[in-house]
Amino acid sequence: MKTIKVILSVLAFTLALTGCKKQPAPAEAEPMPAETEETSEMKDGDETVDYLAVVNKLNPLPENWESIVKTVTVTNQLGREVEVEQTAYEAYLKLKEDLEEEGIYIDLDSVRRSVAEQQRIMDDFTKEYGADYAQKYVAVPGYSEHHTGLALDVYLIIDGKTVIENEEMMAHPEIWEVVHEKMPEYGFILRYLPGKEHITGYGYEPWHMRYVGPDIAKEITEKGITLEGYLGMANETVPEIDYGNSSVYTKEDMDPVITQIKCKFAEWNGCELKRIRYAGDECITEENLEWLRSIGDKSYVKVIEFLMDFHTAKDMQGAWESDHDYTDYQWWLAATEDGSWDIVTWGY
């Protein structure tokens, strides 16, 4: 069993730093083709940004983006300056106005952050808390969709009150339903769909919208797919989840753990996730806990194991066979007293 550093964890304030959720830290022992496919090219002599550019954990911001993107800077209702790509902002204003007619009030939270700004945050955190900490909680500069100016995080204003914390926002699905329904008409898609974490690398974020233009937004939304799937960069197959018959963990306990595994899997470029299943209560032993404590260097109190079936990409590098089915690939996670799970190690 190869070991990795603990790379995923949930802290509320992570969101302020990454704009979204977790970002990758260097990892080992995973299938990874050498080349990342170029998908977002700029047209020669055409000084507009590509509204379909994919910026995710595998694909960085296109090189000349920052020199050609046209943005506007506005002050939100909390008095903070936010920067948005111009066309996306105009579209946002129309969406906002339409929603207000329905009695729904939204405002911009996190929009554009330049790569340099992200690097500054990374440097500050490295200096103050060390490289491990910074890598864990700060988005890798260059690999956040928020660099584009086309990704908007909004918050809600309900009865005049600011609702901006993730958990509070999640508690209003009826509001998000209306917001999501109206978005495509104005050119926005919901970027991080539930159940698609293995493709996007992020868990469900009802507040994160991405501008792609109305025609494509409508098509993507109707099909219920991701931007990656629309562009042919990922297979939209929904993996089978098998929760087994645990007398220790409920489905509700397992779901966030499975989401973490799926988010990590999204970094395995070109691989298709087929199935995730609970390995069984036999994995819960003091010996395994001790083993994970020694790897993760934390005083873990809970252990869980999942097994994964997946299909590799056509051009896999290293020890992995291309276009091949792998089964029963192991994922070991452990939780500390506060209940947050870490992916501690994985492999055969």
Give the interface with Zn ion as residue ranges (CB under 5 A).
19-20, 153, 208
Place of tokens 């291309």: 322
| Cα-based torsion angle of the residue sequence 77, 81, 83, 89 in order, rounded to the nearest 10 degrees | 20
Q: What is the Cβ-side half-sphere exposure of residue 155, based on CA atoms within 13 angstroms? A: 21
Closer residue to Zn ion, CB minimum distance, 92 or 332:
92
Q: Measured from the CB of residue 156, what is the shortest distance to Zn ion in angstroms?
A: 15
DSSP string, 124-139: HHHHHH-HHHHHHHSP
Q: Measured from the CB of residue 10, what is the shortest distance to Zn ion in angstroms?
A: 15
Q: Measured from the CB of residue 20, what is the shortest distance to Zn ion in angstroms?
A: 4
Q: Which residues of 246-269 are buried (b: 16+ CB within 10 A; e: fewer)?
A: beebeeebbeebbbbbbbbbbbbb
Closer residue to Zn ion, CB minimum distance, 153 or 305:
153
In angstroms, rounded to a whole number, what is the distance separating the alpha carbons of residues 323 and 309? 13
Closer residue to Zn ion, CB minimum distance, 20 or 169:
20
Place of tokens 């934390």: 298
Calculate Rg over the CA atoms of the chain.
20
Q: Measured from the CB of residue 192, what is the shortest distance to Zn ion in angstroms?
A: 8
**Ramachandran sector of residue 232 (left: φ over 0; alpha: ψ -120 to 50; beta: rest):** left
Closer residue to Zn ion, CB minimum distance, 33 or 203:
203
Q: Measured from the CB of residue 195, what is the shortest distance to Zn ion in angstroms?
A: 18
Closest residue by Cα to residue 202 from 312, 310, 85, 55 = 55
Q: Measured from the CB of residue 260, what is the shortest distance to Zn ion in angstroms?
A: 18
Closer residue to Zn ion, CB minimum distance, 14 or 260:
14
Using Cβ positions, the residue closest to Zn ion within the complex turns out to be 208
Closer residue to Zn ion, CB minimum distance, 155 or 278:
155
